[in-house]
């Protein structure tokens, strides 16, 4: 990179990228996040993240690397936890989407029509 050009940030994740990321991480959740004696080695986890990267990049606005995907997943989980916290504090009744794994990760506008909560 030339010294006089400023570093540009990547484009935000679009809806399709986020959907593929969530779908693939949930599909491989046991391998990526399991604890205990049966957990995957770091090499196995790296291969799974590479597989996920190969699934996300065809729908991506710009090429994503594994670190981009991991950061986006952490951000989605943090957003999910904060929604759970607000629900448990009585800010609103938990709807049917609270039981679905994707229901809390996606805003109502991001959910597919069949999974969107009524109202």
Is residue 98 a part of any domain in this protein? no
The pLDDT tens digits for 103-118 are 555 555 555 555 445 5
Locate all alpha helices (DSSP H) within 2-65, ordered by sequence.
Answer: 15-27, 29-33, 42-56
Predicted confidence (pLDDT) per residue in 80-101, tens digit = 888 778 777 765 545 544 444 5
Average model confidence (pLDDT) across the chain: 80
**Structural domain contains residue 22:** yes
pLDDT of 96:
47
Q: What is the spatial distance between Cα 81 and Cα 95, in angstroms, rounded to a whole number?
A: 16
22 neighbors 105 (Cβ within 8 angstroms): yes
Q: Which range marks the domain in which residue 73 is found? A: 15-88
In a domain, 103, yes or no: no
Assigned domain for 19 exists: yes
Domain count, the chain: 1
């Amino acid at each position: 990179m030339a010294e006089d050009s400023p570093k540009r940030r990547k484009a935000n994740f679009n809806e399709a990228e986020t959907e593929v990321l969530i779908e693939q991480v949930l599909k491989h959740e046991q391998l990526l996040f399991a604890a205990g004696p049966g957990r995957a080695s770091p090499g196995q986890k790296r291969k799974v993240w590479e597989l996920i990267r190969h699934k996300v990049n065809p729908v991506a606005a710009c090429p994503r690397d594994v670190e981009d995907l991991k950061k986006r997943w952490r951000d989605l989980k943090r957003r999910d936890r904060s929604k759970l916290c607000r629900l448990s504090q009585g800010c609103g009744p938990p709807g049917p989407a609270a039981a679905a794994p994707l229901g809390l990760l996606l805003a109502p506008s991001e959910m597919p029509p069949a999974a969107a909560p009524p109202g």
